């Protein structure tokens, strides 16, 4: 038991690109050499047709631009999601800024560690002597 859907008739559908109902233009006669001023109706019809063409051109331009705008917005969203995820990961595992050890006393005029190490003589035998075993 199949049901048939009614089909729409496209016979009476006008195209969107067609100009509005305008009075037919009179062909200019080649015998008349003098130019005549357009009548008010003709001027109004020409202005309406020009406005309609401008609207169509603007619509086409904006419709052709929507795909590019949507694609650039999608790329921007992807970038922002990636950077947010990267920042979140960095908060869990902080990135080491440099490979040199951090010396908190370097900026101050305090004790110079290298000078202290050079002055003191280290008793290596005491340092590396094995400890007695605990029984």
Whether residue 113 is predicted with pLDDT greater than 80 in this model: the reply is: no
Given this model, what pLDDT does residue 77 score? 94
Given this model, what pLDDT does residue 78 score? 94
Whether residue 27 is predicted with pLDDT greater than 70 in this model: the reply is: no
Given this model, what pLDDT does residue 12 score? 52
CA distances from 10 to 7, 13, 14, 21, 43 (A): 9, 5, 9, 19, 33
Given this model, what pLDDT does residue 93 score? 63
CB contact set of 20 (below 8 Å; sequence gap of 6+): 48, 49, 52
Kindly report the pTM of this predicted structure: 0.27
Whether residue 13 is predicted with pLDDT greater than 90 in this model: the reply is: no
Given this model, what pLDDT does residue 100 score? 56
Whole-angstrom Cα distance, residue 109 to residue 115? 13
pLDDT band at 75; cut points 50, 70, 90: very high
For the chain, give every domain's residue range. 39-94
């Amino acid at each position: 038991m199949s049901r048939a859907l009614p089909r729409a008739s496209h016979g009476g559908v006008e195209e969107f690109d067609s100009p509005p109902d305008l009075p037919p233009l009179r062909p200019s006669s080649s015998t008349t050499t003098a130019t005549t001023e357009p009548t008010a109706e003709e001027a109004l019809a020409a202005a309406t047709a020009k406005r309609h063409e401008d609207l169509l051109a603007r619509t086409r331009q904006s419709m052709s631009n929507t795909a590019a705008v949507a694609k650039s917005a999608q790329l921007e969203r992807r970038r922002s999601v990636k950077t947010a995820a990267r920042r979140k990961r960095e908060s869990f595992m902080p990135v080491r800024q440099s490979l040199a050890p951090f010396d908190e006393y370097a900026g101050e005029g305090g004790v110079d560690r290298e000078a202290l190490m050079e002055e003191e003589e280290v008793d290596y035998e005491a340092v590396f002597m094995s400890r007695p075993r605990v029984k």
